[in-house]
Amino acid sequence: MKVLLVYPEFPDTYWSFRHALKFEGKSAPFPPLGLLTVSAMLPENWERRLVDMNVRPLKDSDIEWADLVFAGAMIVQKESLEKVVGRCKARGKRVVVGGPYVSTSAEHLPEADHIFVGEAEATLPEFLADLERGEPKPFYQAPERPALTGTPVPHFQLAELDRYSAMSIQYSRGCPFSCEFCDIIEIYGRVPRTKTNEQVVAELDALYATGWRGLVFIVDDNFIGNKRNVRKLLPDLVKWSDARGRPFSFITEASVNLAEDEPLLEMMRRANFRRVFLGIETPVEESLKEAQKGQNTRRNLLDSVRTIQSYGLEVMAGFIVGFDSDPEDIFDRQINFIRESAIPLAMVGLLTALPDTQLWRRLKKEGRLLKESSGNNTEGSLNFIPRMDTARLIEGYKQILSTIYSPAEYYQRALDCLSHLTQGPEPRRSRLASDVAAFARIALVLGVLDSARMEFWRYMKRTLTSHRRNFPHAVTLAAMGYHFRKLTRSYVEENQLGTAQSS
Ligand code: B12
Ligand code: SF4
């Protein structure tokens, strides 16, 4: 059997990092870990081919080659997924679809032959047995959320490693919290399931064996969702890293209460964690309460960010506007918070009702739902009727974006962030700073061609005088800021934002 694994294309959004990746000569930030994991569950003797369309186009010859096509996607990839399914069906191929989008919106893919809802560990074995007997069913629904202790080591070797700026591994799925807008807890549950330490070490060994060195994203919904297990994992991670001269640095996602556990932070520092994405959402307590995000109200949010930064972890965070409880001055309050917290990479989005979330169900009951979400909460499109006047909300949202990503504001935040990263274990390595060609590209684009070139050189100068040790990290931040600025310009100035506005 020849199986073609296809990962559809992402639109160009803040999360694509496209404008920053080109400096490094990379095509995508991360590989499609879902498909790499699914591949490892298929019979060993099947031939496999992976096409991540964010890295290279899907050719007709790829489709012709295959007996069976497996495609997985998140909601923002749905248009591309539909096209992939259409192309493969037009060539008479048997198409299997799964992943987070399919799991939450299974009814939207009638053309596919086999639809998988839920995690493949709980569905694929039955499909493979049915296929063997010649009686595969059109629909497979995971009867439960499987333990991760049976998840195999992903087939990292299938990915074209040098096209990505980071590799991914996963330690846990699920999150114990209950945020109203969150679909994670609907898809992956509220009881975080973890792999064993041995599984994680085996995955690191496998990645190491591919020759990969550098950034590894631990793609957990909440890395500290199961703190008891994480506390047991980290010493093994430190040991593994130290024994190999720290070949990987880690980034991950966690809830804000990470700041309440300094021994855990210290272990993360020692294990070489460099960045953590936090769901801060808003500095407004009433809005946090409305979102059922009590874990963010237990402690001063600015203090929490500062504590985490003091362990050498750059904080990246998600912010949301559009809650019913948002006051009129929400836009200024978000801008001030982002400025004071020194979070360079602030992902600000409009509240979005994702399918089947608690928020979705409430808004439906209140008659306020307008349409299905595109999944991209930064495109300025609302899929529900907000409390605040819609035009005011979109205008304020644009104001946040254009302020926080203006060059002066961004470079200052990046410098403040570098000042806060007091206990970094060792200078970060960065291809952007060490690879002469990559650095030359940055210097040319940001320091010569860009209209904000003066700000860039001022930033470089201040980095070299005050943060020489963190120079590589500073260069990376400059490249990322450029990506955010480019997109903000196309969103706001070229008026692409809010054009998809529902009426
Ligand atoms: C890493 C990650 C990213 C990376 C992308 C990495 C990549 N190349 O895929 C980045 C940071 C870029 C990203 C961005 C976004 N993401 Co994201 N992301 C994740 C995260 C944290 C982990 C993904 C992962 O690797 N999981 C590990 C694998 C093993 O799990 P899996 O993909 O679910 O695969 C399993 C099953 O789904 C199934 N399966 C998967 N594929 C297939 C295929 C077949 C054929 C079958 C049978 C089964 C199957 O089997 C696998 C094993 O059990 C998930 C959350 C999560 N827990 O998965 C969110 C998640 C996928 N992202 C999500 C969203 C919304 C986004 C954004 C739109 C963010 C935003 N709010 O704007 C952007 C979109 C990107 C863009 N350019 O616009 C949602 C998707 C919701 C949905 N219903 O589709 C998720 C679920 C979380 C969330 N609520 O934020 N994301
Ligand atoms: S903390 Fe994050 S992952 Fe957990 S429920 Fe809230 S939004 Fe979802």
Q: Which ligand is nearest to the CA of 281?
A: 2
CA of 219 to the centre of ligand 1 (A): 9
pLDDT at 142 over 80: yes
- How far apart, in whole angstroms, are the C-alpha atoms of residue 36 and residue 257? 31
State whether the beta carbon of 312 lies less than 6 angstroms from ligand 1. Answer: no
Dihedral over Cα of 9, 275, 226, 260: its sign: negative
SS3 74: coil
pLDDT digits (tens, 9 = 90+) for 35-54: 999 999 999 999 999 999 99
For range 94-98, the mean pLDDT? 97
**380-416: buried (b, 16+ CB within 10 Å) or exposed (e) per residue?**
bbbbbebebeeeebbebbbebbbbbbebebbbbbbbb
What tokens were used for 45? 């003797």
State whether the beta carbon of 185 lies less than 6 angstroms from ligand 2. Answer: yes
Residues 6+ apart with CB under 8 A from 50: 5, 6, 7, 32, 35, 36, 39, 158, 159
Q: Are 182 and 216 contacting, i.e. CB atoms less than 8 angstroms apart?
A: no
- How far apart, in whole angstroms, are the C-alpha atoms of residue 92 and residue 87? 9
In this prediction, residue 497 carries a pLDDT of 61
- How far apart, in whole angstroms, are the C-alpha atoms of residue 364 and residue 227? 35
Q: Are 255 and 297 contacting, i.e. CB atoms less than 8 angstroms apart?
A: no
What tokens were used for 132? 């063997």
DSSP 112-171: -SEEEES-GGGTHHHHHHHHHHT---SEEE-SS---GGGPPPP-GGGS-GGGBS-EEE--
Supply the residue whose CA is at minimum distance from atom 65 of ligand 1: 375
CA of 105 to the centre of ligand 1 (A): 14
Reading across the β-sheet that carries 346-350, which strands appear in turn? 167-169, 214-218, 248-254, 273-281, 314-321, 346-350
For range 168-176, the mean pLDDT? 98
pLDDT digits (tens, 9 = 90+) for 273-323: 999 999 999 999 999 999 999 999 999 999 999 999 999 999 999 999 999
Q: Are 317 and 278 contacting, i.e. CB atoms less than 8 angstroms apart?
A: yes
State whether the beta carbon of 221 lies less than 6 angstroms from ligand 2. Answer: yes
Region label for 476, one of left (φ > 0), alpha (ψ between -120 and 50) or beta (otherwise): alpha
Q: Which ligand is nearest to the CA of 17?
A: 1
Q: Which of 181, 187, 255, 351 to mutate to test the pocket of ligand 2 (most atoms within 8 A of CB)?
A: 255
State whether the beta carbon of 183 lies less than 6 angstroms from ligand 1. Answer: yes
What tokens were used for 164? 């990505």
- How far apart, in whole angstroms, are the C-alpha atoms of residue 329 and residue 403? 15
pLDDT digits (tens, 9 = 90+) for 318-364: 999 999 999 999 999 999 999 999 999 999 999 999 988 999 999 99
In this prediction, residue 430 carries a pLDDT of 66
What tokens were used for 95? 């198409």
What tokens were used for 325? 């409880």
In this prediction, residue 501 carries a pLDDT of 40
Q: Which of 219, 251, 255, 352 to mutate to test the pocket of ligand 1 (most atoms within 8 A of CB)?
A: 219
State whether the beta carbon of 314 lies less than 6 angstroms from ligand 2. Answer: no
Q: Are 268 and 424 contacting, i.e. CB atoms less than 8 angstroms apart?
A: no
SS3 111: coil
3-state secondary structure 280-334: EECCCHHHHHHCCCHHHCCCCHHHHHHHHHCCCCEEEEEEEECCCCCCCCHHHHH
Q: Which ligand is nearest to the CA of 166?
A: 1
The DSSP letter of residue 427 is P
- How far apart, in whole angstroms, are the C-alpha atoms of residue 56 and residue 471? 32
3-state helix, strand, coil in the chain (%, to 5): 50, 15, 35
Residues 6+ apart with CB under 8 A from 452: 407, 408, 446, 485
In this prediction, residue 87 carries a pLDDT of 98
For range 416-441, the mean pLDDT? 78
Q: Are 488 and 13 contacting, i.e. CB atoms less than 8 angstroms apart?
A: no
Q: Please name which of 275, 249, 258, 200 lies closest in space to residue 224, comparing C-alpha atoms.
A: 258
pLDDT digits (tens, 9 = 90+) for 209-232: 999 999 999 999 999 999 999 999
Q: Which of 170, 172, 175 to mutate to test the pocket of ligand 2 (most atoms within 8 A of CB)?
A: 175
**Average pLDDT value over all residues in the chain:** 94
pLDDT at 6 over 90: yes
pLDDT-based confidence at 105, cuts 50/70/90?
confident
Share of the chain above pLDDT 70, in %: 96
The letter for the amino acid at 312 is: G
The letter for the amino acid at 58 is: L
What tokens were used for 261? 């556990």
